Amino acid sequence: MSGTAPNPSAAREAGPGASRWRAGATAALMAVGVAVPIYAALTGDTYLVALASRILVYALAAVGLNLALGFGGMVSFGHAMYLGLGAYAVLLLGASGVTNGWLQLAILVIVVGVVAAVVGTISLRTRGIAFIMITLAFAQLFYFLFVSLKAWGGDEGMSLPQPSSFGPFTGNRTALYFALLATLAAALAGTHRLVGSRFGLVLRATRVNERRVRALGTAPLPYRLAAYVLSALLCALAGFFLANLTGFVSPAYLAWTVSGELIVMVVLGGAGTVVGPVAGAVGLLVLEEGLKALTEHWMAILGPLIVLMVVLLRNGLWSLLPGGVTNEARR
């Protein structure tokens, strides 16, 4: 689509050997995820499970954002809104007597799907800074809405009256952790299949040159809107897990700074790559925790380090692997 000549080095990176490297790295990340609660049970280190749970939540949200940002070229500064909506769905439904986790998920998917469709329909008719500002405006609207709900904690947030009910697994954080890990694995597998399909081809083509896509007789809007809604639903799922894992919900989940962190994770890991956002979430949050242990002025160090990594690794952490950046990600 870009009209450039094939890149021989990129072709080599996309070969069988490179695929094995990527598959091995992905399997290693999942293996570490499985090993964390086992290690914690043997050593009694509950903090490690809490950190790993936070990483998985944000990795799932980053994978969702990557579908819109990395593959669709939609720079959304409002995806924290969907993370927050997923969390508040657990709080509001639970307080209203709807505690069945599966029913909560069904209602969450419907409500967030409708909100994302409305926001997407409006924002996707614009481009560039206008798109960014519209998504940010909607996120701020919901942020201040939940801040104003004093009965639900206001700006201080509120503890869950009770966790989502999943039968014998209710309140079992280890089971919830593995469910989150399985959801992330399913999201990665689904993203891989989706971006390799005709839908993914059209979506990536619209990112490169939307006019050419129209000239070929394909309307880009339905594809972009579908990708936007799917990305929002993954973020909402992350919010659902976040609320149940922490037992707490706050408007801070919807803050624009959270959207910024998700964008950093996607870019740092490798926008337009399937597993890159996971690597970005791991890298950012582990680096953050390490700096917190060293100094109380960790934010002053983290910012320049992120800038340095993004400048030196223009294709993200995932590009350090052979074949970590595909032809699509290079364009």
Q: Domain for residue 10, yes or no?
A: no
Q: Domain for residue 9, yes or no?
A: no
Condensed to tens digits (0 to 9), the pLDDT of residues 227-273 reads 999 999 999 999 999 999 999 999 999 999 999 999 999 999 998 89
The tokens for 149 are 């709900």
pLDDT at residue 10 tops 80? no
**Count of domains forming the chain:** 1
Q: Domain for residue 11, yes or no?
A: no
Q: How far is CA 56 from the centre of its chain?
A: 9
Q: Domain for residue 12, yes or no?
A: no
List the single range of 130-144, 239-253, 297-311 with lowest mean pLDDT.
297-311
Angular region, 127: left φ>0, alpha ψ -120 to 50, beta rest: beta
Q: What is the pLDDT at residue 299? A: 85
Condensed to tens digits (0 to 9), the pLDDT of residues 89-100 reads 999 999 888 999
Domain of residue 92 covers 19-330
Stretch 319-324: mean pLDDT, rounded?
69
Condensed to tens digits (0 to 9), the pLDDT of residues 252-261 reads 999 999 999 9
Condensed to tens digits (0 to 9), the pLDDT of residues 214-226 reads 888 888 899 999 9
Angular region, 198: left φ>0, alpha ψ -120 to 50, beta rest: alpha
pLDDT at residue 14 tops 80? no
Share the mean pLDDT of the chain. 87
Half-sphere exposure of 224 (CA within 13 A, CB side): 27
Q: What is the pLDDT at residue 17? A: 56
Q: Domain for residue 7, yes or no?
A: no
